[in-house]
Amino acid sequence: MPSFHNFDGISCLSSRADDPEKKPKTIVDVGCGIGGSSRYLARKYGAQCTGITLSRVQAERGNALTAAQCFSDKVSLQVADALDQPFPDGMFDLVWSMESGEHMPDKTKFVSELARVAAPGGTIIIVTCCHRNLEPSENSLKPDELSLLKRICNAYCLADWCSPADYVNVAKSLSLEDIRTADWSENVAPFWPAVIKLSLSWKGLTSALTCGWNTIRGAMGILLLIQGYRKGLIKFTIITCRQPRAA
């Protein structure tokens, strides 16, 4: 994986950890899963972190893990909708969403909610898989590319894909500032062949059979992801921006 310091939008935020006046004090992890990112960010910045997920099972498991690490005073996970967050405007210094945008059926609403809960001057970081940007001469992706994305969506129950440029356009429409993107596909793509190699081991095969069809379908979907990365269709993208500071 690439270092955070390879991307100005994140390395700038990372450097704030050394400046008590600049580091975030309140963080929301949108699409937190069982809270790995939430706990990491809270430790890194000494901040209060709230994670939201649609899964009650994930929230309960994540809170149990947090309690086991004696960290419940800093991190809490709750069930909430990323497209209708239960927070007042401008609540968080850092709004973080990692690998959740793929599941959002309305990308404009998704980014709008991230922006709404970001404090004046607050940073928004979105880490998500996108499809490639269209060329100036293109009105849409090629038929074979659309077909491949549809198969991936079916394998993982994902919403429609968008491009990094689409995210940038939404951010601009919301008057967000310092909008930057980076493509980390080259660094992330080797992960999936490694997963395939592990899944073909005896332990991986027996585990997949024990877990059932959904797990097997997900494992088969990895082959489609590998194809998408090799075609240059899938882009593992980081988008950073911030709310304008208060006048």
Q: What is the mean pLDDT of each run of 10 residues along the chain (247 residues)?
A: 44 57 92 98 97 98 98 98 98 97 97 98 97 97 98 92 98 98 93 73 63 62 92 97 92
Structure-token match 């980081």, residue found: 238
pTM above 0.75, yes or no: yes
d(CA 104, CA 121): 25
Give the per-residue pLDDT at 150.
96
Give the per-residue pLDDT at 221.
83
DSSP characters over 4-48: GGGSHHHHHHHHGGG-TTTS-SEEEEET-TTSHHHHHHHHHHT-E
Give the per-residue pLDDT at 246.
84
Give the per-residue pLDDT at 124.
98
Give the per-residue pLDDT at 89.
98
Neighbours of 57 (CB within 10 A): 10
Can you give the residue ranges of every domain in the chain?
7-133+158-186+234-243
Give the per-residue pLDDT at 212.
58
Interstrand relation of 48-53 and 26-30 (parallel, antiparallel or unpaired):
parallel
d(CA 82, CA 91): 15
What's the fold here for domain 7-133+158-186+234-243?
Rossmann fold (3.40.50)
Give the per-residue pLDDT at 87.
98
Give the per-residue pLDDT at 129.
96
45 in Cβ contact with 39 (< 8 Å): no
DSSP 212: -
